Amino acid sequence: MTSPEKKVAIVTGACGGIGRALVKKYAAQGLALAIADQSQSATESLVSEINQQGGEARSFAGDLTDRAYCDNLPMQVFNQFGRIDILVNNAGLIRRGKITDTSDEDFSSSMAVNVEAPFRLVRAAIPIMEKAGGGSIVNTSSCWGINPGPDHLIYCTTKAALAAMTKCLGRDHAHQKIRINAVCPNEVNTPMLRTGFKIRGLDPEDAINKLNQSVPLGRIAEAEEIADVIAFLTSDEASYICGSLVEISGGKAVY
């Protein structure tokens, strides 16, 4: 069990760009962390890094397409830490292309990670948070889920579903003192973005430089800037923000 005064946060996709930035920010703020990601070695490495720096973290590696893993994760975290104050559904999957270029696997895996996993995790976490008198949940949706862009049918569809889910949840569970919001970033400088460019045969640096020119602020977001907004939404300073979709775009419209 963690100390009674220390808040506990579950972060999925914790070893990716935004997830890692958020975990480090939370650790610096003194939160205890449940590190959830698909790779056992990656989660254990991040846990070791946090603990060596004086923080408190434990590994909860697993596959978000595994329904049993999602259903059981909140209670596993509760059993080890004694509480859950924050859940951040940060993990995400991008499949690009028009509908005629996509496969059944593209659709099913994207729905499983981007929609079903958050659904199951929230469903399992809410009773735990309610008994404790409240909590905060943040889902990572996307600007592309609010204003769909071209040639990302499945991604836009799943992120729109997550945005709608967030607004419904925010309304339905506010009376339980559980605040549920979503961040909706545009392009973010993460390993996932760079890998996507490589898959399409593009040079990541050149591609990012071109993206920078399309943003009114002059550059795409850094992972730490998204983490800052998530950390704010889960803090006491955001105590009246509930059911909101917070766009983080640098002023850039998707369409």
The two tokens of residue 214 are 């399309």
In total, the chain counts a number of residues equal to 255
Distances (CA, A) of 113 to 13, 93, 108, 121, 136: 10, 7, 9, 11, 20
Interatomic CA distance for residues 135 and 242, integer angstroms: 11
Interatomic CA distance for residues 250 and 188, integer angstroms: 10
Which member of 26, 155, 240, 255 is catalytic?
155
- 67's CB contacts (< 8 A; 6+ apart) are 116, 120
The answer to whether residues 128 and 72 touch, using CB atoms and an 8 Å cutoff, is: no
Interatomic CA distance for residues 137 and 12, integer angstroms: 12
Interatomic CA distance for residues 35 and 29, integer angstroms: 16
Nearest alpha-carbon partner for 81 in 51, 53, 49, 57: 57
Cα angle for residues 5, 237, 30 (degrees, 5° grid) = 35
Interatomic CA distance for residues 88 and 137, integer angstroms: 6
Residue 155 annotated among the catalytic residues of the structure:
yes
What is residue 35's three-state secondary structure?
strand
Nearest alpha-carbon partner for 19 in 90, 92, 72: 90
The two tokens of residue 100 are 């005629």
- Catalytic residue numbers read 155
